[in-house]
Structure 1
Amino acid sequence: MHRTRLLTRHTATLLALCSLLACATASAAPARATVSNDTHATACAEEDNVSLNLDGAGIRRFRVEALPPAYLATIEQDRTAPDFSGCNFDGSAHPTDPRFSFKERRVVLHDGPRWQIVGITLPSFWRSEQVPVRVDSRSDRGFHMIQVFAKTGTRSLEALVMYPSDGYWRIKPLPPARFGDGVYGSSFVMGPIEQAGRPMARIASIVIESRPLAFRLRFANGGEAKVGVREISEARTTLDVAMKPGRGQGPRFAVLRSMYVAPDNADMSEVAWRATPDGAEQRKPLPEISTLDATDVRFGRSIPSRHNTTAPDIRFGSFETGPR
């Protein structure tokens, strides 16, 4: 009789646990982001005319990956020279940008066995903000670029650069040796997005931890983000992002920025996505994209471009919601 009561109690406990697990599984189901296209036409191969917005009410965690373009193995030579032939500026500054002057400098903020982290202040920049930056126990401020170099054997290769004054990021996988240091392509901004002539995020302070490598951002609206560098390799560079929203923050959590003139002259020319985790991949040229819902989305190219030929595709995915 005692054993029967124990078995009954054990069965009830198992059923309760199964119910809880089912609930947990259901709540952990991948979320979907809405992607909308604000691209405008241009003849300038050095202008970021592509804006692809990522919105998701309650999305708090996601992953960003830089992946080699599908055609990488078929090419032997990269094309990285700038092309201002269709532009109304020469690369020193965009004519519509404000321009603020600074004392130029380069500071090595960390030099360890795996990473070198460098802060760069440019002679001029379009934002005036001078964001405080701390790397481990070292503090500084006023950098326009934070570069991360991965130490791989005899080479140190840049794999990540972020811009404290406007919240932009660029990432790339480590390139095959024949392509030298490789090249960036599309960029993205994450956090509380606002428009100031272009999408941007106002960052109040940055703390960088070198072991393991992670960026902790505090935004001007009180929100926060942790950006963990999960992997840097020839296969991919991966960031895991966790966000805490701040005051007045809407559903937009990221914007991809890029360049598109034509399918063979673009840093990204098509969008591939899945509407559900086990759904078939869909793919469309960039000009045919208006709005879509996706559990993961890849902004890239399937034919070689004559502009930044080896620049990576950028994929967003692993969207998860959190408390509102």
Structure 2
Amino acid sequence: MPAFVRRVLSLMVLLLLPAAAAAAPVGVMVRNESTSATCAETDNVSLKLVAEQIEKFTIIARHPAYVGMLRVDNTEPDFETCDMSRDPVVPAPAPPPAAAGAPPAAPATGVPRRVTIFETPDLWITGFTFPSFWRAASVPVRIGGEVTQGLHMLQLWVRQNDKAEEVLVVYPPDGYWRARPLSPTHLRSTAYGSSFLVGPVEQAERPLVRLKELDFAPQTRTFTLHFADGGKARLQLAKVDGDQIRLEVQFDGIAPRTFAALRSMYVTEGNADVARVAWRTLASPGTPAAMGEAPVMSFTDAQNVSMLWAGRLVPSRHNTSAPDFTFEGFAGR
């Protein structure tokens, strides 16, 4: 058979094969499990995202609408009405043994231990071990062939426009993340505020995601979350600039039903990291897409949501510059 005939037949076979199913938009349920609080350091705002089959979605942290008006930024913690005495306390693991011939590791001093575990001129990751945390630091962190144990927190730093800034934080023991864009030109830095969870969200004193291992691929700026009960997800730093930080999440296999959550605080509208929510529903045959908005504490569960925004319209005296969050791009097969 002539070669050109074989090529034509091969092309015809490919054209007749069924096309791979593309990810289609999915509407999710937003469940509001927030409770009232008087402590500004309590994560009493809890918005959970629920769906049967999610393949991917996007998380965006963007400066609040009023950031251009800020001249004074309040980022100090406020423990005025807080009682943390009943919080779980797990001591930090002992420092790893020193290599042969090296001086012995320094004893615990009551201050965090800091280590740079990856570094290039434009991107680096710093790890911290605190004297104690509410969960054990038992999740290994892998970058290439190097594994680091006993970390409570990782910071991801980037250098852009001749300025280095920390833009993403993760706590491996409980799966909490924080994100923020690069600072606007009139502010030296901005605050973190709300946290988010990605993966099978469960309750153990507070919502958390149990991780078995956390990997990072510097070339693609992608974290791989290996969940304790199986499955994994990839979280990629897709974009970061002076307006927003965009994180693309892709599940490997079947995603958990409660696949993500936003955790934040609200005491009053002027003392909150999240004060309001807005959402858009997914259009369906005979029903157009619609928008809704509400104060976060009176918001009731929403169905068939294609976009959720959680943030502030007026400045707060707590973490004044902290970003708003948007969850969107929900897709599945």
TM bracket, shorter-chain basis = 0.7 to 0.9
Which residues in structure 2 correspond to 1:193-212 (within 5 Å)? 193-212=201-220
CA distance in 2 between partners of 1:252 and 1:272 (Å): 20
Say whether the 8 Å CA contact 2:143–2:215 is kept in structure 1.
Answer: yes
Which residue of 1 is the match for residue 125 of structure 2?
A: 117
Question: Could you list the per-position Cα deviations for residues 270-318 of structure 1 after superposition, in whole angstroms to 9, with x for gaps in the alignment?
Answer: 1011102673432111122110021010111111111111100011110
* More moved, 94-103 vs 76-85: 94-103
Are 2:229 and 1:221 equivalent residues in the alignment?
yes
CA distance in 1 between partners of 2:79 and 2:154 (Å): 26
Say whether the 8 Å CA contact 2:87–2:134 is kept in structure 1.
Answer: no
Which residue of 1 is the match for residue 332 of structure 2?
A: 321
Are 2:278 and 1:272 equivalent residues in the alignment?
yes
Question: Could you list the per-position Cα deviations for residues 52-109 of structure 1 after superposition, in whole angstroms to 9, with x for gaps in the alignment?
Answer: 11101101211111011111112211111111122124xxxx5232332345421111
Give the letter for the 1:76 counterpart: R
| RMSD value, Cα | 2.1
2:72 alignment partner, one of 52, 73, 77: 77
Secondary structure at the aligned position of 1:304 is classed as: coil
CA distance in 2 between partners of 1:235 and 1:211 (Å): 23
Say whether the 8 Å CA contact 2:199–2:256 is kept in structure 1.
Answer: no
Which residue of 2 is the match for residue 3 of structure 1?
A: none
TM-score, reference length from structure 1: 0.86
Which residues in structure 2 correspond to 1:120-269 (within 5 Å)? 120-244=128-252, 250-269=256-275
Are 2:299 and 1:289 equivalent residues in the alignment?
yes
Which residue of 2 is the match for residue 32 of structure 1?
A: 27
Deviation at 1:136, TM superposition (A): 2.6
1:301 alignment partner, one of 297, 304, 312: 312
Which residue of 1 is the match for residue 87 of structure 2?
A: 96
CA distance in 2 between partners of 1:177 and 1:146 (Å): 26
CA distance in 2 between partners of 1:30 and 1:266 (Å): 32
Deviation at 1:245, TM superposition (A): 5.1
CA distance in 2 between partners of 1:202 and 1:34 (Å): 22
Are 2:322 and 1:311 equivalent residues in the alignment?
yes
Deviation at 1:191, TM superposition (A): 0.5
Say whether the 8 Å CA contact 2:24–2:332 is kept in structure 1.
Answer: no
Which residue of 1 is the match for residue 99 of structure 2?
A: none
CA distance in 1 between partners of 2:266 and 2:173 (Å): 25
Say whether the 8 Å CA contact 2:54–2:330 is kept in structure 1.
Answer: yes
CA distance in 2 between partners of 1:131 and 1:64 (Å): 24
Q: Percent identity at matched positions?
A: 38
Secondary structure at the aligned position of 1:73 is classed as: helix
Which residues in structure 2 correspond to 1:53-72 (within 5 Å)? 53-72=48-67
Question: Could you list the per-position Cα deviations for residues 138-181 of structure 1 after superposition, in whole angstroms to 9, with x for gaps in the alignment?
Answer: 22111111100111233210000001111010000111143222
Give the letter for the 2:130 counterpart: L
Structure 2 gap ranges (5+): 1-11, 94-107
Say whether the 8 Å CA contact 1:150–1:232 is kept in structure 2.
Answer: no
Secondary structure at the aligned position of 2:156 is classed as: strand
Deviation at 1:214, TM superposition (A): 0.5
Structure 1 gap ranges (5+): 1-12
Which residue of 1 is the match for residue 113 of structure 2?
A: 105
Say whether the 8 Å CA contact 1:44–1:84 is kept in structure 2.
Answer: yes
Deviation at 1:50, TM superposition (A): 0.8
